[in-house]
Chain A
């Protein structure tokens, strides 16, 4: 018989992505129908109530564990093992004190950069610790108010460091991928990006053409707004101008209202078509433009309907919509969809639902972004849904040859499921348009 087990645990904290993974593992156990393991925030409590759980009064600092199933109790035992496996830092001895703040961590190690991904309302404290310690910082967190962003960036200017973000998804520093980033070869192109997925598309195309990247410096989607005034973009461009490894600088941004200072080095401003931008960069460097890898679909379905863009990257969504010039495009990475759940680059749920809802005869255009931090095997997540989908599916596969997911294996799996696969998002959009 199925029962509900609800427990609040005091004094246990794990980040939301870790808890989501734990919830999934528990839900997959035999005899468990559904498991919710989450911090007891009002939002998470609502989610659990929506699932029909009866909840006691809880404090946001409590860990909520709600399990339904015949073997709900067994799930609690399993949870202990999972929680201890995911303990933030198992101290090697009693006397070791893990750093509890960025300030403390910065005092004990000679770090070069801080990656902040705590919930947005807490991000300023960690980021300002970094800047005060004289460290550059990438703020992956979103939901940080603009006045906090400005205060951070002004302080950073004083300290001579760079603030990447807030809401900066992608950075690569001397090959080190921070957040959602790809495995790139070292090379002469420095990228300043207000758009993470835009930087990923551009850097992956360059890498496929055998041209490496010195650094990708994200600045956050709001940096080039009139309020923030390109504070970080200007600094990032100046840093790349000074960097001996960088020969050419590319600015990736969705039509910036604020134009940053032009560097002394060769400078390319990305256009709305990132593939065209990559080709422009290759020509500037005197390098040949290759055929961008693409894998046509094995067989076509009849197209009678409309074009539906089901995207995870905002810039990629806009680029595809612009290139296709028709169809309905939804960016599932938008704040409206990510509140209270992980980004669609990690969690396929929303886009799987969208795939199941398309009509026969439609053309689906979707992006799949590979690299660090992203879904470890997106083909496995989507192949079944694509194979069952009555529409024609075109996949823009954004990745480099070195990515952990293995670009070629992913392409083969998507193709096996019936999709046409392109490494250029613009080419994918043109292809999708041509099917209509």
Chain B
């Protein structure tokens, strides 16, 4: 930080839009935060709070509207990793900016009801190949979900949390896609056991996510556990309920990140298969046993 002999300049007040998921953190008493990462289209802030999302993304219009993000109506400030910031009392203070939300969007919009027999069979084609394509834990997850075998699901999920390189490891993205699908599409298709599975899976992945994966990915897992995701995932789910074309929605999702979009799509695909299987087999013995 440079020391200036000039009087401290006034803060620049800017506004934007925010995911409604961020509102509780934003409206709590003010807490300290620090810059975790800074990219041309987004700055990640880690907030000292027990609430989730504890990592907030300050983004520009070009970035993905992650469920933990605040979209700025102005340019991002110049900050470096480790810089101090604060969040609370309705305001984010970052660099010279003082940011308030003028609009809230729903990161978990409800889906229209759908008859499970009318659901698409799969999301093909998912390109590029998901980061963990063919991995044994993915196979276990898919198979256990389809059978409603909770122990298998939990075992696979524990292997997958934090698995893979990068800011959001592939394993986390797959789990996030799966969680959101089971919760929303399960509810919309009237497959209660899918929602029940989502509850268990959510408890498993959020239990120690903060210690097992990156802070950003942990926050996104917490969001996914509550059914919150980005519009690209919602778009695919919506298309699965017959609102909009599926293929373009899948390709929009797959364009996110390096393999993040494809990993999310893989998770959505596993969720879709699970809902179809659970809807087709009214009383799977494995699930009954787990109950």
Contact = CB atoms under 8 A, between A and B. Distances in A.
Nearest to A406: B90
B109 A244 contact: yes
Contacts of B100: 404
A183 interface: yes
A402 interface: yes
A348 interface: no
B20 A186 contact: yes
A404 to B, nearest CB: 6
Contacts of A175: 17, 103-106
Contacts of A242: 112
Interface string A176-194: 1100000111100000000
Interface in B88-130: 100-106, 109-112
B20 A185 contact: yes
A174 B102 contact: no
A404 B23 CA distance: 15
Interface string B234-278: 000000010000000000000000000000000000000000000
Interface string B68-104: 0000000000000000000000000000000011111
B266 to A, nearest CB: 25
A372 B101 CA distance: 12
Q: How large is the interface on B (under 10, 10 to 19, 20 to 34, 35 or more residues)?
A: 10 to 19
A244 B104 contact: no
Q: How large is the interface on A (under 10, 10 to 19, 20 to 34, 35 or more residues)?
A: 10 to 19
B118 to A, nearest CB: 16
A245 B101 contact: no
B15 interface: yes
Nearest to A176: B103
Contacts of A402: 101-102, 104
Nearest to B106: A186
A183 B102 contact: yes
Contacts of B110: 244-245
A212 B100 CA distance: 19
B104 A177 contact: no
B156 to A, nearest CB: 31
Contacts of B112: 242, 244
A266 B109 CA distance: 19
Interface string B6-28: 00000000010100100100000
Looking at chain A's contact residues, the main secondary structure is loop
A110 B124 CA distance: 26
Contacts of A372: 102
Contacts of A404: 15, 100, 102
B15 A174 contact: no
A244 B101 contact: no
A174 B103 CA distance: 9
Contacts of B23: 185
B102 A184 contact: no
A177 B15 CA distance: 14
Nearest to A242: B112
A372 B103 CA distance: 10
A404 B99 CA distance: 12
Contacts of A185: 20, 23, 104
Nearest to A404: B102
A242 B105 CA distance: 19
A186 B15 contact: no
Contacts of A245: 106, 109-110
Contacts of B17: 175
B101 A183 contact: yes
A391 B272 CA distance: 66
A110 to B, nearest CB: 12
B103 A177 contact: yes
B101 A174 contact: no
Contacts of B15: 404
A285 to B, nearest CB: 14
A184 B17 CA distance: 11
Given A175-B17, A244-B110, A186 B102 contact: no
A402 B104 CA distance: 9
A351 to B, nearest CB: 26
Interface in A161-182: 174-177
Given A175-B17, A244-B109, A186 B104 contact: yes
Contacts of A174: 105-106
Contacts of B241: 244
A151 B105 CA distance: 34
B131 to A, nearest CB: 31
Interface of A: 174-177, 183-186, 212, 242, 244-245, 372, 402, 404
Going nearest first, the 9 A-B pairs with the smallest beta carbon separation are A186-B106, A244-B112, A244-B110, A175-B103, A175-B105, A175-B104, A186-B20, A244-B111, A185-B104
Given A184-B104, A185-B20, A185-B23, 19 more contacts: A174-B105, A175-B17, A175-B103, A175-B105, A175-B106, A176-B103, A177-B103, A183-B103, A183-B104, A186-B104, A186-B105, A186-B109, A244-B111, A244-B112, A244-B188, A245-B106, A402-B101, A404-B100, A404-B102
28 contacts: A174-B105, A174-B106, A175-B103, A175-B104, A175-B106, A183-B101, A183-B102, A183-B103, A183-B104, A185-B20, A185-B104, A186-B20, A186-B104, A186-B105, A186-B106, A212-B20, A244-B109, A244-B111, A244-B112, A244-B188, A244-B241, A245-B109, A245-B110, A372-B102, A402-B104, A404-B15, A404-B100, A404-B102
